[in-house]
Each structure stands twice: as structure tokens, then as C-alpha cells.
Structure 1
Amino acid sequence: MLGAFFDDSGTHAGSPVMTIGGVLGTEAQWDVFAAAWAALLEEPLPGKRPLKQFHLSPCRAGRDEFENYTLAERDHLTYLFRRVILDTGLVTVAAAVDNAAWDELVTGDAAEELGHPLEFLLYQCLNSVSDIVRWRKPGEKTWVFFDEGIRDRVEMFAYAYLQNNKDRPEIASVGFAPVSKVIALQAGDMIATETSQFGQQWLLDRENPVTNPHFESFRWRDISAGLIFDRDAIAEMVERVKAGPPSV
């Protein structure tokens, strides 16, 4: 049995990019991950108090549990938690949309067909997990968990996905849990946040996006899967909806 854990980023009003990102691994990998991540939470850096959770955005900003950390300390701590994901060999999966383009273009029948961008991203991530498992671990089943914070917005859609996508048996179940209590979701938070910030830069300059150095290790791995739906991609989807199903 495999496990995949996803968090979201950029779901607040005015965010330029909305993202769902997460990590996928085997039971053995999750056992190794849990021990290493928990050890870092207990002793993040010499002389620092144990952390309740690792949350990338507050760490970057020096807020909450990280307010007494210097910039260098926060950067090193991010490196240490990032290495846990990489050293464990977890697959990373993410999908992002241009929020402004979605709000402008996805209206009327297209909105009925494509749904809320959060539902769309969940759909893309579940499909990516299914494709990866089918390719790398054929025949395996995957339990997928999302952050409890989006449950009220996507729960019905997630269960409809399970009912209507019988051709994707790799997805055995979809559930929800709080990031603060499930450390695997904290890894999902890192991937979602990094992807959201990269997506913003990519929309500004596709040829030479300003990339956070921590994201580079994820971006170029052969076991990382990421999708960004920009204005052109969204417009193409809307046109397909308007055109209707192909005539036979």
C-alpha cells in the first residue's frame, strides 16, 4: 500500500496562484520519513526549542515558532527538512493554476464543467498519482490524504472522483487530516508552498523564472511531477467545453 499527502497554497483571496502539492511514497519510506521528520521537530537546531510543526511560510517570514530564528537559521532549517523528503526518495506531485486567468475565463458553462479551481487541482493531483503508481508500482493501491482545511470545499468532489473514475483503481481512498497532527502533510505543505512561489515567478517570466534555491532540488528530479495551468492552457480548456463533445 502507498500513501500520498497533499496540502494547498494560495487559496486566499487575491492570491495570484493556487496550488495543491504533496508527496507520495511506500509504507517503508513513510516509516523512515516519520522518524527523521519527528527527530528534526524535537531538535530543529542546537539550542532551539522543539517545534510543534514545520510550516514553510512562517519559517520563511520568521513568524510564530520561528520568530527567534535568524534568516540563516531559517534557511538552514528549511534545508534540513527538505533533505528528509529527498533522502527518503519520496515522489513529489503538484498542480497550480493562474487564479486571475481562471476567474476571468472560467464562467458560465465552463465553470459548471471545470468546477472550482481547488476541485480542478485535486483532480489533476489524483490523476498524477494514479499515473505515477501505474507506471512505477503497477497494481498497488494508494491512500490519499488532503489538508483538513479544504475539506468543506472539496470533500463531495473527492468522493465523486472515486465513484466516477473506476478506470483509476490506483486511488483506493481519499481522506482529510490536520497538517499540525500529520507530519506527512507538513511535507505536502513544503511542496505546495514552493510550487506556489515558483508558479508566481514562472507566470512573470517563463524563460528565466526567479527560482528559490530550495525548489531547484525538487524541480529537476525525475521523480517530481508538476503542472502549471496558465492563461493559454485555461483558455484552451474553456474552448473545448464550449465546443462540446466531438461529433461521431
Structure 2
Amino acid sequence: MPALAVQWVEPNRFPVGWSLTSHRHDRTHELVLVVSGRLRTTVDGVTRIAEPGDAVLHVSGRAHAESTVGGRPLETLYASWWVGTGADPSAWEWQRPDASGRIAAAMRWASEAFAEGTPAGVDAASGLITAALHELAQSIGGADAELVRRVRAYVLPRLAQALTLDELARAASLSRRHFVRRFTIAAGSSPMRWLRALRLDAGRHLLATTDRTVEAVGQEVGFPDRFHFSRAMSQRSGRPPSAWRTS
């Protein structure tokens, strides 16, 4: 896996009433850390409010809408990096608290390094955002977080299989009804919708980082043929699988 390569890192300030309609990013992932104010984000029909100290992750190809909340301007730290570099965040939960403050510290330092406008500054920023993402991956906690981790660990080696809701519930050692309720709260999406998004994000990652055929990638992530994979990818991202090939 190539080392993470940042596209942009900067602090931002948005006025009261600012909003951005639903949109997605084709070639980059994004990380937003709320410094002050409040940020409303909607992803896949689920809306969450990020308070100061919360980190919000936007995976490439996943549509999201954003707006300020309340009567205070919004201040954030922002970073974007290229798909196919660094760790693959496609199955991570998309909002988490920065309980330790390390994500904010790394992002502040990264924004200063990036602002230097030198190759050394960009390299330093890339390393610091790598550190921020490492902390982000470790920051989720609690029983619901463990539930998502357990299901993800079960699913990832089995993406090529036709997994059912009952199988996921058994992997979580919960009844079907209890599992659906708890998982939807923890992950911000229903289990099967989450699974489909995980398949597509994994497929997009393989398309960008390997030379496997579209059909082979689709089968590896659980689609029976190229037609179903291409249709699902186009519905989710607005682009066919071939468009995710790294030039």
C-alpha cells in the first residue's frame, strides 16, 4: 500500500447559516475535525451533529450534506488525501470523538506544514495525517463500537460470499431483531445497507490499487457478475467501475 499522500490540509471557518448540498468526492477521502461551533452532516439518510472535538470522515464516493447548527460560526480542521494511499478507511464509522485530542494536534501541525508550500512540508503533512488516522481508527469505544468491529471482522474475509442478515446476527451473538436495532444505531446504517456499502468501497479500493479485471473484483467483493457490480457501483457513486482505475 503506498504511503498516504495528502491533497490538501487547512483550517476553515464557516459563517452562521452556511450549508453544502449533498455531494461526493471522486478521488479523495476527507477528514473534518470540529474545533468550535457545531456541524450537521447527513450520510445515507442518517444525520448526526458533530460537536467540538468530533471527527467526521468522508470516504470517497459517499454522498454527504453539511451545514452549520446554531448561532455560532463553525471552525474546523480539514484534510484530504488520495484514494489508494494510506490505510483504507472505507468501512470505518464516519463520526467519532477525538477523546485524546491527538487528532486535533496532528491536524493542526499538518496544516502548518502543508502551508509551507514545500515538498518537505507536504511530506510532513502526509505523515501527520497518517498519525491522525491511526488515532481515529483506535478512538471508537464502547459496546456498540465492539459490535461493529466484531461484525466487520467476520465480514471482511467473507466478502465474496452471499452473507445473510441471520449470519451477521449470529456473528454478533444477538437475536435478529436486537442485532438490527443495535447495529443501526452503532454504524449509522442498517446491517445490509452497511454490508453493501462495504462491498462497494472494498471493490473501489481494489479497482484503484490492483490490475484485476472488473469482473474479478466484483466477484471478490460479493457480486455474481460484472453487470450487477457495475450497476451497483454506478448507483452508489454515479460512475462505472472502470472510472475508478488509477491512471
Superposed pair shares fold, TM > 0.5: no
Larger helix percent: 1
TM-score normalised to the size of structure 2? 0.26
Q: Give the number of the structure whose residues are more often strand, by fraction.
A: 2
